[in-house]
Amino acid sequence: MSATDRPDRPPWADFKGALERAGFHPSRRLGQNFLLDDNMARAIASDSGVTAGHFTLEVGPGCGFLSVHLAHAGARLLCVEIDPRLAPIARDFLQPYPDAEVIEADVLASKSSLAPEVLERLPAAGEWTLCANLPYSISGPFLATVAQLQNPPSRVACLVQKEVAERLASAPGDATWGPLSAAFQESYEVTLGRFVPPQLFWPRPKVDSAVFLADLRGDLAAPEERARRMQFFRDLMQRRRKSLRRVLSDLVGGAQATRSLEALDLDPLRRAETLSLPELRALEREARADV
C-alpha cells in the first residue's frame, strides 16, 4: 500500500467510542494507561524512524492508537496485546493496513524469554524496530530480554516510566546507574527523548513518563557473550553497599577476585555501580579467565 493509498488515521474519539461500546475499563494489574494525545503518538512514531516496509514490533498496542501511526508510515507491523478485550478493537482499526498483524499473547513466556509465537515472527536477520508504549510492569524484564536476542532490534523508541528511561540512559556516577543501565547499554547507545506528562494518558498514571531512544552498538558482541556479560553485570551490581572486592569474591572466589582487581588496577574498595561499561567489560573478562 503506497502512502497515497493509506486511509486517514481515525481520530481519538473513534477509539474512545470503541472502548465504551465494549464496556472497557482499564486494568491496573496490566498497567493499562493509554496515550490520548494524537500529536504525541505521531511524534513517537516519527522518533522510531519507521519507513515503508520496515518490520516493527509494538508491545501493548491497546486499541491501536499508536499502531495506526506506525501502520500509516508503512511499517510491517506486529502488535502483541495481552488483553482479549482490546486485541479485536486494534484489529478493527488496523484492518485497512494489510501489513499489520495483531496477536493476542503475553509477550513474555518467562521473566527472561519471549513468547514462542512472538519470537517466531521476529526477523532472524536484518534491521527492525521496537516502538511501543510499554506496560510499566514489564518494561525492565522485557527490554533486558530483547537486548539479548540473536538479532535484537536495531532501533528502539519506547514510552516508559520516566524513572526507567533515566535509568536506561544513565552513566556511572548517576544515582540511577545500575544493573539495568549496564546490561541494556551492553547492546545499545541510549538517549533520553520526549517527556510525556500524566495528563496525556487515560487514566492518568501517578508517575511521569518519557520516551527513550536506543540504537544498536556497532561493536555488538555475540549473543552468548552478551548474555554472559549482562548476567555478570547484574550479579556484580545488585549489592550496592558492598565493596567491589567483597562482591567479586562471592562470585569467583577471593583469590581470583584479588588477581583480577590487581590486573586491572581497580580499587578493591570501590563499589560496583561506580564502574564504567568498559571497566565492567574488562573485569568480566579478567574474572572469568580462569573460572
Nearest one of 75, 69, 70 to 53, comparing CA atoms: 75
Both 92 and 165 in one domain: the answer is yes
The answer as to whether 162 is a domain residue is yes
Predicted model pTM: 0.91
pLDDT at site 287: 92
Phi, psi of 160 (to 5 degrees): -140, 175
| Residues 6+ away with beta carbon under 8 Å from 278 | none
Domain check: are 255 and 204 in the same one?
Answer: no
Whether 249 is in a domain gets the answer yes
CA distance linking residue 217 with residue 235, whole number of Å = 23
By the 10 Å C-beta count (0-12 exposed, 13-18 middle, 19+ buried), 130 is classed as buried
Quick one: how far is CA 182 from the chain centroid? 14
Q: What is the pLDDT of residue 15?
A: 74
Summarize pLDDT for 72-84 with one digit per residue, the tens. 999 999 999 999 9
Name the domain boundary from 201, 216, 231.
216
For a pLDDT cut of 70, what percent of the chain falls above it?
Answer: 95
Query: What tens digit of pLDDT does each residue of 185-221 get?
Result: 999 999 999 999 999 998 888 899 999 999 999 999 9
> Structural domain tally of the chain?
2
Domain that holds residue 279: 239-287
